[in-house]
A and B are shown apart, each in its own frame.
Chain A
């Protein structure tokens, strides 16, 4: 079971601000889902290899060949927060 503190912690890890009231709501909803996920515990899997990918592909590469970059104005076209060719954000900490 996850606690209010857990919700606050994962909210911080995920950078999603959660209000006091939302914390309780999330806790309840998340716990009901986690409880459902808990059914996997009944399945013994000690000797099972995890499947990260169904496609068993190895060694996919590209050659070291230069391709065209985007023009600076295109790079910055999707934000209004820019300055001297850079993205501008508030101070970090």
Chain B
């Protein structure tokens, strides 16, 4: 099946990603851990742009950029350098942004996504490094602002801007691209997508192969899909009414779910790019082999391996590899000898579903030990889900000691309570263990199913075959069953 793209939609994305896993900013030693800090406490003369200060590039930022480049199958430039993008804005303490221009560190690459008609290749045009501006808070709304407050804690944070070709043919594909892209970056351990402002997206979109419109400032994946759906509908309506799409930049109003034309500035900006004279060019292609060595198994490869190694379904493999911490979690569970398929079901279907339902996201992990989730709307709600707990739970379930309803209840209880209890504690407290009689009944059913000949003998009149069957039940229940009860249950079962 080939996707026809009936509306001639082309979507390209520009994604700004903060390299927030680095300890310091792009050009100074200020800590990058500013997200919960008071304003202007994570700044220094350099990121405040005080007169006389000079930037010095964080080596780890370049390594991270190369990592990203390699993961996107991009070309790493032989020689790369920084430029100044000159414009005035209060969040920009130097009056220019240090960015890359005609010599970006990463050139053409690609990402394969699950498209409308199967695997679909999205071309990467380039990826480059740049610094983040500070943060503005408008007193009142943007339109009726009385003033602006500036916090430069974010100023100078290292960013990677990735530009794609306009290869996506639907908002769904754009969202899938972003999911994939974010996942890759998290695998590379250069980026924590849960932090505020960690990823910002500009999208350009056109319909009927026509003029493209840029939609700026979208901060979530859902937002991208919504913004694009709205914008495509808007453009189609304009054309239907005989209008023309003009080249413009629009702003996405997340609250109202609409795109708004940004007031055209008094005069067009002219960024007057020129080479940043305070930073020297780089020749770093000889770093590539060593960096390639450190590249982790990426999502696609991991997914294929999960199917192969654990014998799980593609859907489960996809869900489990959608976040590296979850994939590690699954592997830790399996390493303890539980059935991988059952483990996959309980992690991918049940645990993930229950997390989603509670707005809990995986924020961190202690590898081999636990994943740590927190509530997106209320970050104070934090839950630890331990590998051992999942192992215990899955084992109980696999051994038939608890029903699937009981197992779900255990997971819910872990997620709903601050108290950190083990599944066994919960099972005992709530009496979730299958009753003894249930166990005997199960043993009886099994015994009957497994001993066709003895059953036939008994039904044919051989009374002592009944003794044999009782003995089997006693064996299955390790002697815990009462022989008299077992006998009655067998008789009841056989007589229907």
Contacts and interface: CB of A to CB of B under 8 A. Distances in A.
Asked if chains A and B are in direct contact (CB within 8 A), the reply is yes
Interface of A: 9, 12-13, 15, 52-53, 55, 57-72, 75-76, 83-93
A60 B150 contact: no
Given A89-B150, A91-B148, A63 B41 contact: no
Given A52-B277, A69-B43, A72-B38, 12 more contacts: A59-B280, A60-B56, A61-B56, A63-B59, A65-B23, A66-B29, A67-B24, A85-B41, A85-B151, A89-B150, A92-B90, A93-B263
Contact of B283 (A59, A62, A63, A90): A59
A92 B147 CA distance: 8
Nearest to A86: B149
B277 A60 contact: no
B405 interface: no
B281 A58 contact: yes
B40 A91 contact: no
B272 interface: yes
B39 A62 contact: no
B42 interface: yes
Contact of A13 (B38, B58, B62, B272): B272
Contacts of A58: 280-283
B468 interface: no
B60 interface: yes
Nearest to A9: B267
Given A64-B24, A85-B38, A92 B43 contact: no
Nearest to B33: A66
Which of A13, A15, A57 lies at the interface centre, i.e. has the most chain B CB atoms within 10 A of its CB?
A: A13
Contacts of B149: 83-84, 86-88
Contacts of A89: 90, 147-148, 150
Contacts of A92: 89-90, 136, 145, 148
13 contacts: A61-B59, A61-B62, A62-B29, A62-B59, A63-B59, A64-B59, A64-B61, A66-B24, A67-B28, A67-B30, A88-B150, A92-B89, A93-B263
B54 to A, nearest CB: 11
Contact of A69 (B44, B137, B138, B283): B44
Nearest to B270: A13
B429 interface: no
Interface of B: 22-24, 28-31, 38-45, 48, 56-62, 88-90, 136-138, 145-152, 263, 266-267, 270, 272, 275, 277, 279-284
Contacts of A93: 263
B280 A86 contact: no
Contacts of B40: 72, 75-76, 85-87
8 A-B pairs closest in CB distance: A67-B29, A61-B59, A86-B149, A91-B145, A64-B60, A85-B39, A87-B150, A62-B56
Contacts of B151: 85-86
A88 B148 contact: yes
Interface residues of chain A: helix, strand, loop or mixed (majority): loop
A64 B58 contact: yes
A92 to B, nearest CB: 6
A86 B138 CA distance: 12
A51 to B, nearest CB: 11
A75 B150 CA distance: 12
B29 A65 contact: yes
Contacts of A12: 266-267
Nearest to B90: A89
Contacts of A88: 147-150
Contacts of A67: 24, 28-30, 44
A72 B41 contact: yes
A70 B487 CA distance: 82
Contacts of A83: 149
Given A9-B267, A58-B280, A72-B40, A86 B59 contact: no
A83 B215 CA distance: 32
Given A53-B277, A66-B23, A84-B39, A61 B57 contact: yes
Contacts of A91: 138, 145-148
Given A62-B29, A65-B23, A86 B266 contact: no
Nearest to B50: A78
Contacts of A86: 39-40, 137, 149-151
A63 B280 CA distance: 16
With a 10 A CB-CB cut-off, give which of B28, B39, B136, B138 has the most chain A CB atoms: B39
Contacts of B148: 88-92
A62 B272 contact: no
A63 B24 CA distance: 9
Contacts of B282: 58-59
A2 to B, nearest CB: 15
B44 A64 contact: no
B39 A15 contact: no
Contacts of A90: 147-148
A70 B56 contact: no
B435 to A, nearest CB: 58
A61 B158 CA distance: 14
Contacts of B60: 63-64
A21 B41 CA distance: 45
Contact of B45 (A57, A66, A70, A85): A70
A60 B279 contact: yes
B290 to A, nearest CB: 14
Nearest to A64: B60
